[in-house]
Amino acid sequence: MGPDMYLTKKVDVKNWDHLLDSRRWDINAKRGGEPVEFGLPVQEIVLEAADWRKANAIHKWFVDHCQNGRDECQVSYVDREQLEELLALCRQVLETIQTGKGDATTLQSLLPTQSGLFFGPTTYDQFCLDDLRLTIEQLTKALADPIEGDFYYEASW
């Protein structure tokens, strides 16, 4: 058991009357290969930007920087600058581990872990390296996505 963690991107696709044709959305969906017509207007689309499982230090970072230290499985807004900060931090910590230029105290000061029943190991081991690489890969892709939208973080267990 441990936290399942999600970063989503919500894209507003409501076709307001005042929008120019070039700004309007045409939403097409299929189910079982067949076109689906929605009976009500589509207002937003939620995209999966990233997901993790028991990524201890990553979860703690979101709690500390986006949830005001409150860890109650709530959905929290995350701005682009915060994601860019986390991306840069993951790159720095990964480089520090790979080059051996920092000890556990240095790593804890950069990207701290937290102890607890649900959070897995607090060490900067292979699992942590994998989480860092996954985070770098997912955030790089999410931040490069050209569609405008708002990011939200949520964890559940």
Domain ranges for the chain? 4-8+47-156
Helix (H) or strand (E) holding 21: none
In three-state secondary structure terms, 110 is helix
pTM for the structure as a whole: 0.91
pLDDT > 80? residue 1: no
How many beta carbons lie within 10 A of that of residue 44, not counting itself?
A: 12
Contacts of 123 (CB under 8 A, 6+ apart): 104, 113
Percent of the chain's residues with pLDDT above 90: 71
Looking at residue 52, its pLDDT comes to: 96
Give 96: exposed, middle or buried? Use CB within 10 Å, 0-12, 13-18, 19+.
middle
Total residues found in the chain within this entry: 157
CA–CA dist 57, 41 (Å, integer): 40
pLDDT digits (tens, 9 = 90+) for 75-126: 999 999 999 999 999 999 999 988 888 888 888 999 999 887 667 778 888 8
